[in-house]
Amino acid sequence: MDTPTLPVLERIASALERLSPPPATLEGVDKADAFVWLPERGRLLPVPHVAHVPVDLLCGVDLQRKILIENTEHFARGLPANNAMLWGARGMGKSSLVKGAHALANQVDGKPCAPGKGAIALIEIQREDLATLPLLLSLLRENLRRFILFCDDLSFEKEDRDYKALKSVLDGGIAGRPENVLFYATSNRRHLMPRDMIENERATAINPSEATEEKVSLSDRFGLWLGFYACEQDTFADMVRSYARERNLTIDDENLMARANEWAITRGSRSGRVAFQFIEDLTAELTEH
């Protein structure tokens, strides 16, 4: 066969696969403790190593950390637990807390379990794939493992209808939510939709009290609703010092904080993410010298 025809045949095969995708399966679900859901392939892509920050390094979120860890550990032990929405300021550790709580729940005597042996498997689902949640749940329902579905940076726009799929999951639908599945999400929006959109729909609706009830009430369906707020200067300082101690950086506190504050000013904000980025840069600089 002529080599130039191979790319054409490959594109044809790819198109046919999209038209008739293979049956969905959980093959390999016992080989890892974290996955990414690929609905177009009906598969879970294993994630051998989840990049996470140890939860004890997350500063300024003590109450949120305590609540989410307890909820996750209850779920790991087969006890009742709630779906959780983590909303609020950017860079304040929402997704880090979810991944850190998952890692903590999968430890035994302070050490990580062997791959595939953790109490909970974390499955990341992309915002644009929410419509495939019923398919994923139908697979998970019949499995013996416990799963946390995780959607990072969740929000909806005016013409978006995917929130109905998520609402069905949170409500449970006619079959009920699978006992072995929880849903964790993070968002920068308190009600998962822009404030101007809420106000506009209320102002133009015949019945303003009902115009946005369906969408706004979606956030109320999360049993845990944890807020994250912009940090003060003292909290930012605690974050910087915590990361510096963890890295064993040889720098005096006065110099450390002077440089951290300068870094924050150039970024125009203070947050856990900014503190971590500063420590990354400082670590590289000190290592070179």
Residue 211, pLDDT above cutoff 50 = no
Residue 178 tokens, joined: 């699978």
Q: What percent of the chain has pLDDT over 90?
A: 58
Q: What is the pLDDT of residue 124?
A: 97
> Over the chain, what is the mean pLDDT?
85
Q: Give which of 2, 53, 117, 34 is closest to 280, Cα–Cα.
A: 53
- What is the average per-residue pLDDT within 190-211? 55
pLDDT digits (tens, 9 = 90+) for 82-132: 999 999 999 999 999 999 999 999 999 889 999 999 999 999 999 889 889
pLDDT band of residue 189 (cuts 50, 70, 90) is confident
Report pLDDT for 289: 64
Of 217 and 210, which is predicted with more confidence?
217
Please report the pLDDT score of residue 10 as a whole number: 72
User: Which of the pair, 252 or 25, is modelled with greater confidence?
Assistant: 252
- The segment with the largest mean pLDDT, out of 57-61, 120-124, 202-206, 214-218, is 120-124
Contact status, residue 181 vs residue 154, Cβ threshold 8 Å: no
- At 194 the pLDDT is 59
Which among 8-17, 96-105, 149-158, 185-194 has the top mean pLDDT?
A: 96-105
Question: Is residue 15 over pLDDT 80?
Answer: no
Predicted model pTM: 0.82
Pick the more confident residue, 140 or 7.
140
- Average pLDDT of the residues in 221-236: 92
Instruction: Please check the confidence at residue 285 and state whether its pLDDT lies above 90.
Output: yes
Is the pLDDT assigned to residue 29 strictly greater than 90? yes
Rounded mean pLDDT, 183-199? 73
> What integer pLDDT is reported at residue 180 of this predicted model?
94
What six digits make up the tokens of 213?
């009830």
